[in-house]
Amino acid sequence: MKLLIPGPVTTQAAVRAALAVDLAPWDPDTLPLYTGLGTRLRAIAGGRDGTHVTLALPGCGHFVIEAAIRSLLPPGGKLLIPMSGAYGERMEHLARAAGRVPVVLPIPADAPADAAAVAAVLRADPAISHVGLVYSETGTGVVHDPLAIGAAVRACGRRLILDAVSAFGALPLDMEAQPELDAVLFTANKCLEGVPGAAFVVARAERLEAGAGRAESWSFDLADVLAHARRGGTGLARFTPPIQVLNALSVALDLFDAEGGQPARLARYQANLRVLSAGMRGLGLSLCLPEAAQGPIVLNVHAPADPAWDLQAFVAALKRRGFLVSNFYNTPRPSFRIGCIGALTPEDMRAAVAAIGATLDALGIRERAPG
């Protein structure tokens, strides 16, 4: 089965095999792997030794987004969120539940957030300390521009938190060139092509230290994770880390390096997207986004108008042909969603297009323009 979804992604056999090993994180034989991960991930973020630290939390991406919001904003602090889609909404929900005040900037669902609009809101409200941006909005497929938004945030003297969960490893990052960027958040199981179970932040250490004590949660207090990681000498996590997941990520990073790092990964995903986009159009389907706004992570395809269309039946029938796509949609209008990421190649995508075509034929979906 190939997972054509934006996480958890299809993984290579060597990555899954690394889960089958019993390890103790503090064992001197394991420690280099454990501490080395922080350094490797910081390098992918474009962070700098002495300025930026990598910390790990067990669990999913939402955990580390909540942790960053709690650890960087004071209780009652204001977070401006360009409302990009489903994951912008998740950030809003997490901020509100944590007792911070989300300020939502409505933006079009089919275009990147506008830096001038962000700057205008910041200038009008000096109480907003941070902007929370979703780098790749996995709901719509739009990629936003952290350099442009960051420049506006910096010019206004504020700080940036970047949800890079579906971007990290594929889209470029240069934390050293973005001093306004407090934290980049991601997990093991999207573009890094590891398995789920570990979430990470690369953060400016001084910003976490300055916020020590504000998290109102021990589990999600990144300043405490940092202090503990430094005391323990591992530099990465607190308590029992998901060590098998980290071991698998270490193998995934070896494969990432062998492929040629972030530029090569991006190139493969872009090639996957090209095959998929052309293939969907060739089948008579239409794409949700204009080409200029379409990022390389996830492709949303309009649900066909044919009365025989049923998303669950389509997903189940396609699964029988070896490909799993999402059985829900996050777009304003009904769509189906195909991930371009994971250990998949353009060749896999050609096979997926053929399987989707055969599935539509078998289900008798003839009217394929949007409903």
Ligand X SMILES: *Cc1c(COP(=O)(O)O)cnc(C)c1O
CB of 166 to ligand X, least distance (A): 3
Regarding 62 and contact with ligand X (CB under 6 A), the answer is yes
Could you give the residue ranges of the DSSP H alpha helices within the chain?
Answer: 13-17, 31-44, 61-72, 86-97, 115-124, 146-155, 205-210, 222-232, 243-259, 261-282, 311-320, 346-362
**Identity of the residue, 90 or 368, whose beta carbon is nearer to ligand X in the bound complex:** 90
Strand partners, 298: 339
CB of 121 to ligand X, least distance (A): 21
Regarding 60 and contact with ligand X (CB under 6 A), the answer is yes
Regarding 187 and contact with ligand X (CB under 6 A), the answer is yes
Which of 53, 55, 87, 349 is close enough to bind ligand X by CB under 6 A?
87
Stretch that binds ligand X, among 54-62, 98-106, 242-250, 283-291 (CB under 6 A): 54-62
CB of 48 to ligand X, least distance (A): 25
Could you write out the DSSP letters of every residue in 8-45?
SPP--HHHHHGGG----TTSTTTHHHHHHHHHHHHHHT
Of 263, 199, 203, the residue nearest 48 (C-alpha): 203
The one-letter code for the residue type at 48 is R
Regarding 163 and contact with ligand X (CB under 6 A), the answer is yes
List C-alpha distances in Å: 171 to 135, 155, 318. 9, 24, 29
**Number of residues located near ligand X, criterion CB under 6 A:** 12
**Identity of the residue, 163 or 193, whose beta carbon is nearer to ligand X in the bound complex:** 163
Q: What is the DSSP letter of 176?
A: G
**Identity of the residue, 81 or 156, whose beta carbon is nearer to ligand X in the bound complex:** 81
CB of 62 to ligand X, least distance (A): 4
**Identity of the residue, 109 or 360, whose beta carbon is nearer to ligand X in the bound complex:** 109
Do residues 371 and 39 lie in contact, with contact meaning Cβ atoms separated by under 8 Å?
no
User: In terms of residues, how long is the chain?
Assistant: 371
**Identity of the residue, 165 or 353, whose beta carbon is nearer to ligand X in the bound complex:** 165
Which of 58, 61, 197, 241 is close enough to bind ligand X by CB under 6 A?
61
CB of 222 to ligand X, least distance (A): 16
Stretch that binds ligand X, among 35-43, 56-64, 111-119, 346-354 (CB under 6 A): 56-64
CB of 283 to ligand X, least distance (A): 26
List C-alpha distances in Å: 222 to 63, 207, 227. 11, 10, 8
Do residues 164 and 136 lie in contact, with contact meaning Cβ atoms separated by under 8 Å?
yes
Helix (H, G, I), strand (E, B) or coil at 160: strand
List C-alpha distances in Å: 59 to 67, 128, 138, 188, 200. 12, 29, 19, 10, 10
Do residues 175 and 46 lie in contact, with contact meaning Cβ atoms separated by under 8 Å?
yes
Task: Give me 221's structure tokens.
Answer: 């207090």
CB of 91 to ligand X, least distance (A): 8
Stretch that binds ligand X, among 60-68, 74-82, 320-328, 335-343 (CB under 6 A): 60-68
Which of 5, 165, 171, 248 is close enough to bind ligand X by CB under 6 A?
165
Of 1, 40, 164, the residue nearest 91 (C-alpha): 164
Regarding 255 and contact with ligand X (CB under 6 A), the answer is no
Of 187, 229, 186, 238, the residue nearest 205 (C-alpha): 229
Regarding 138 and contact with ligand X (CB under 6 A), the answer is yes
Which of 79, 94, 134, 175 is close enough to bind ligand X by CB under 6 A?
134
**Identity of the residue, 61 or 296, whose beta carbon is nearer to ligand X in the bound complex:** 61
CB of 185 to ligand X, least distance (A): 8
CB of 188 to ligand X, least distance (A): 9
Do residues 353 and 19 lie in contact, with contact meaning Cβ atoms separated by under 8 Å?
no
Regarding 7 and contact with ligand X (CB under 6 A), the answer is yes
Binding residues (CB under 6 A) for ligand X: these are: 6-7, 60-62, 87, 134, 138, 163, 165-166, 187
